[in-house]
Every structure is written in C-alpha cells, then in structure tokens.
Amino acid sequence: MENGSTEIVELRAQLAAALARADAAEADLARERAKASSTEALIASLKLHIEKLRRELYGQRSERKQRLLEQYEFELEELEAKATEDELAAEDAAAKTTSVQAFERRRPARRPFPEHLPRERRVEPAPECCEACGADKLVKLGETITETLESVPRQWKVIQTVREKFSCRCCEHITQPPAPFHPVPRAWAGPSLLAMILYEKFGNHQPLNRQSERYALEGVELSVSTLADQVGACAHALKPLHDLIAEHVLAAERLHGDDTTVPVLARGKTVTGRAWVYVRDDAPFGGAKPAALFKCSRHRRGEHPAEHLKDFTGVLQADAYGGYNELYAAGAIKPAFCWAHGRRKFYELADIAKTAKRGKPAPPISPLALAAVKRIDAVFDIERAINGRPPDERLAVRQETVRPLVDDLEVWLRENRAGLSRHDDVARAMDYMLKRWTGFSAFLEDGRICLTNNAAERALRGLALGRKSWLFAGSDRGGRRAAVIYTLIFTAKMNGIDPQAWLAEVLARIAGLPQARLHELLPWNWKAARQPAQAA
C-alpha cells in the first residue's frame, strides 16, 4: 500500500513537472511569436516612414506612390493589431510560469496631449493611515498625474432664448429685447448643428438618410426632408461668402483647372454630369491665401469653362481638354499643360511591375518610353528643389539648368518620332506633348507656373472618393448647391483650419454681419484673427 502511495506521489510530481515544462514551452513559443509580430510591425512602420521621407525629399516619382503608401498604412494597421494581441497572449502565458519572462514591446515615445484640451482632475481617495505602522499622521509630499485621453459622447440640448417684456408705468409702452439673429430664416437648429450636418454630408460624404438614422439612434428624430430643408437654407445663407471666395480665385494670376464625372439623377435614371474645380494655390512660389472654386454642369461642353472663366485673365494650368481651346484662342488666357499627364502616357508603357503581372502575353517594355520617363524625371528632380522659392529665383534656375534638358528632350522626341508609325502607342504619347509643346514649355518663361496640375487633382480626389457613398446628385440644382459647399469646405482645408468649426462660427455670425465686413469670415482672415487668441 505504501508503494502504491509513493508511486502516486511520484506520478503527480512528474505530471506537475511535465505541465510546468509544457507551460514554459508554451510561454517561450508565445514570447517568440510576440517578438516576431513586433518585428514585423516595426519593419512595416519603418517602410512607411521611409516612403514618406522619400516622398518629401524627392516628390511623387510614380503614379503608384500614393496607392503604395495607403497599402503600407493598411499593412501597418494589421501588423500593429496582431503584435499587440500576441504580446498580451505572451503575458498570459508567462504568468503561468516562473521561469519565462513576459515580453514587452518597444513602443515609440508618445507625444504629450495638446495643451488646449480641457483637463478634468479625478483625485483618488487618500489613505487614512500608514500602510506600514498604521499611524494616521500622514503628510502630503506631492502627487503623480497619469493622463488618459477620453472622448465625451455627443450631447444634444435645446437652447431657450428668453426675451422678457417690460411695461413702462408712466406711458405703458412695452419694451422687449430684439430677437436674436438666426443662421437661416425660421431656424430651429443652432449653428454648430447646421455645420455638423453640412460637413457630414459634403465633407465626410454621409447622405442625409444615414445621418437621420444615426440621430434617431441617439434619441433625436430628424427626418430627411427636415435636414434637407436646412441644407438648402444654409447654402443660400452661405452664398455671399462663396461669391467672395470665387472673386478671390478668379483674381489670381494663375489657376489650376480640372473636372471629373458626377452622376446626376434625371427622370428615373442618372446622366453623367461634370464637377469642375479651379484652384488658386500660390504656395509653390511663396504665395498665401489658397482657395478652390467648384462648379457643376450637366455635360462637359466647352461652353461651361468659357462661362466659368470669362472674367479670368492669366495662366491656366490644365490637361489637354479641347473645351479650353476657345479661351486660349481669345488670347486672355495662356495655357500651361501638365507634365504629369505627359509623363503618365510614357510611364504606362514602361511600367515594369504592371507588365510583369500580365504574364507571358504582356507586351515588352518600350525602351523609348523608359528613356522618355528618365528624361522627364530629371526635370522633376530640379523642380522639387526650387519649390516654394520666389518666381524670379525659380525662373533663373529654370533658364540655367532646366531649359537645356527640355530642349534636349524636344530634339530627342522629334528624332525618334520620325521613325515610328502613327499607330504606335509610343508615337501617340510623343504626339501628345509635341503637338502642344508651346504649352508644355511655358513654365520656362514664367516662374509662377508649376510643372504639374496636381493641385486641381487633389481638390477633386475627395469628391471622387465620396461618389461611392452618395452615388449621385439629386438634380442639376443639387449639384450647384453641392459646389457651393465644396468650395467652402475645401478652401478651409487648404488654409489648414477645421472646416466644421469654421462653418459653425460663420453660420453664427453671417446673418448679423454687414456686407462690408463679410471678408472677416474668409478662412485666411478667420485663422489670422484666432491665432493671437490661441497664443494667449
């Protein structure tokens, strides 16, 4: 009997030792897995950081660069989440053993929270007596503060504006304070709520039906028709400010122009309308006060840009759209074509990665297209170095270093074009530039002209992404109404301010502000007025 008990004890000891070894092995495995996940996340973070630095130093060298950065960010998101899960799993596994140390990831130093955020102090209850001896004679030596960033859920409230009536005992005249100005006539919504509705619809591309559903879940029933009524009223109230921005944009010496498709609802179907944008961005040569003007039309006929730019004189940077030819022929507007468009036609024929994905049937890479891309990239390299300098400095550098490259490129294109068929893809890419060479070489004579039309393409990027959410404009008038709000929101973004906060203050003040002082609400003036207060 004693032998049996001894064997049971020994077996239990061996089982416990085996379990301990299994726990240790499991902890070691979890630790190594956490290390590998942490390393993968670190590599992804460094790759993203390197690509962003390359973009800042050398600019956007290919059309795939933006998509590549987005892919890196998505990859980093997944790997960071995976690394954290593995780290916590390793901690749980290490807690079951005494021989394996828990793995702790190295994280970059966190930036301090912004100073302008309000602080709420929550003081933990102080001990009533000493933990060591039990005495109650405690003296405060200091405190340790741990900060946690928190977001307070949105709170709805009804503001009651009370206007008391007074009667004069002598003449019985009744006196009452005047009614306050409302952002829009017959308003029932405050300026902050109106700004939120506008920015959600046009800035975050959330249609009114989705907003109505979300507000209902928060306990506030607002129908789509009620919200749409306020959108129309706000567009009407904000039109004078839009007109000021339009006047500022069209007074520029140089504009970027572009357009994109916008489906418009028409009698049970959608037709392909156009959204136009004209961007004033003088930052490349040291200017300020950037702005964008959006327009909307049912089709893409040349009559629309002719109407939009009838009061503009200067340089128009755009693609080779034929609708601008009437403006160029009139002589008041000088064309400057986009080198990114010209380069793209060659790049598509020399894209090694894209060609490799096609497999064996893919056509061979064109040596001429690849040589053209390299020659054009040499021009871009010099342009990036002079970005932000005054126009005269930019022009001097171009005359000295860029002009020889451009002249050599023209000679090279014409010589090689002579030996190609007009049906050849490379010949079409060459013809695109050679037939418009005056417009492509215009930047050599004017330091204000940019090499690309990317400013206009950036302005349309958000609208193009938003199409997947709102699908189509409800009508031609709805498109024009959207253009008014897009003008305000994108101009605010270009000036580095929060569009929703700016719209809230604009709506709060615009009804009671004289027309002569309306310029105070322009984004650059509003930002300049707030900077001293923020500094204080």
Q: What are the pLDDT digits (tens) for 419-465?
A: 888 888 889 999 999 999 999 999 999 989 999 998 888 888 877 77
Judged against a pLDDT cut of 90, whether residue 491 lies above it is answered with yes
What are 167's strand-pairing partners? Answer: 174
Q: What is the three-class DSSP state of 294?
A: strand
Q: Supply the pLDDT for residue 298.
A: 83
Backbone angle region of 62, left / alpha / beta, with phi > 0 → left and psi within -120 to 50 → alpha: beta
Q: Supply the pLDDT for residue 503.
A: 95
| Rounded Cα distance, 351 and 372, in Å | 12
The domain spans of the chain are 2-55+63-95
202, 498 in Cβ contact below 8 A?
no
* Backbone dihedral angles phi then psi of residue 35, each to the nearest 5 degrees: -60, -45
Look at 119 and 52; give whichever has higher pLDDT: 119
Q: Supply the pLDDT for residue 498.
A: 93
CA 58, distance to chain mean position in Å, is 21
Judged against a pLDDT cut of 60, whether residue 74 lies above it is answered with no
What are 264's strand-pairing partners? Answer: 271, 473
Q: How do residues 337-356 score in pLDDT, each as one tens digit? A: 999 989 988 888 876 545 54
CB-count burial class (<10 Å; 0-12, 13-18, 19+) for 378:
middle
Q: What is the pTM of this model?
A: 0.76
Q: With cut-offs at 50, 70 and 90, classify the pLDDT of residue 57.
A: low
Judged against a pLDDT cut of 60, whether residue 360 lies above it is answered with no
Q: Supply the pLDDT for residue 110.
A: 63
CB-count burial class (<10 Å; 0-12, 13-18, 19+) for 476:
middle
Q: Supply the pLDDT for residue 268.
A: 60
Q: How do residues 290-335 score in pLDDT, each as one tens digit? A: 999 999 888 888 888 889 999 899 999 988 888 888 889 888 899 9
Quote the longest CA-to-CA distance of the chain.
117
The token pair at 19 is: 């379990």
What Å distances lie between residue 407 and 315, 373, 393, 431, CA to CA? 22, 15, 20, 16
